[in-house]
Structure 1
């Protein structure tokens, strides 16, 4: 597997992680996952070959907004594209995610084609 196709999924719901991994693996992506923002940042520090992050925005503890703010201040992490994956689909939520530093936005339930298009664009 090419290392540049490694995706980090950060989500507090194991069902979402399981579903995303299944879909992405079938499309040739290597996936690792974290249950929250803190664990996700730790994986990003440890594994330097992560190409893109799929970030759930609403998580207990450190949410996606907080994790992206920390990433944006770290010279090694700020260049890693983050795609916001969230159940928030209200007016203004997409803009809030993009303003926080996400390069793309996908609402739940996830449209696999939209997600794949974003991954192709950033990997």
Structure 2
């Protein structure tokens, strides 16, 4: 089985560290960027990223701006993008999905819920 490669986009190094540690312990390969512009550049140059986890609230370019750009990249139009947000307000899930996210999870992250989302997105892959 190929190890799934996950790109974590978050402006908080603590969140990147926690997510990476959790996913690496479950055999995911993790890459990270602390801003959407850098992450988009990485995605433009790499076809082998399987899943993107993106913080919706970041300076410079937030997830709502970044997701349509990511989905517009020819090599990542079908790559699942999961919105990660501390905003757990009514309507936030719908707003994230309307921006193009394939899934949504709120902080603090429930690891079991995250793994279910990742497995759901992995079921469509060609291993």
Task: State TM-score, norm by structure 1.
Answer: 0.95
- The DSSP-based 3-state class of the residue aligned with 1:45 is helix
Question: In 2, distance between residues paired with 1:42 and 1:11?
Answer: 15
Q: TM-score, normalised by structure 2?
A: 0.92
Provide the residue aligned with 1:2 in structure 2. Answer: 2
Query: 3-state DSSP class of the match of 1:50?
Result: coil
Question: Aligned-pair distance for 1:48?
Answer: 1.1
Runs of 4 or more consecutive aligned structure 1 residues displaced over 6 Å after TM superposition: none
Q: How many pairs were matched up?
A: 122
Q: Deviations for 1:28-86, whole angstroms, at most 9, x for unmatched residues?
A: 10000000110110111122100000000000001111111212322222211100011
Q: 1:22, 1:68 → 2: CA distance?
A: 24
**Partner residue of 2:55?**
56
Report the equivalent of 1:87: 86
Between the aligned partners of 2:29 and 2:100, the Cα distance in structure 1 is: 23
Q: Alpha carbon RMSD of aligned pairs, Å? A: 1.2
Counterparts of residues 1-123 of structure 1 (less than 5 Å): 2-3=2-3, 5-123=4-122
How far apart, in 1, do the equivalents of 2:29 and 2:75 lie? 21
**What do residues 65-109 of structure 1 show as CA deviations (whole Å, max 9, x unaligned)?**
111121232222221110001101000000000111111100000
In 1, the alpha carbon distance for the partners of 2:46 and 2:32 equals: 12
Unaligned segments of structure 1, at least 5 residues: none
Instruction: Give structure 2 stretches of 5+ with no counterpart.
Output: 123-127
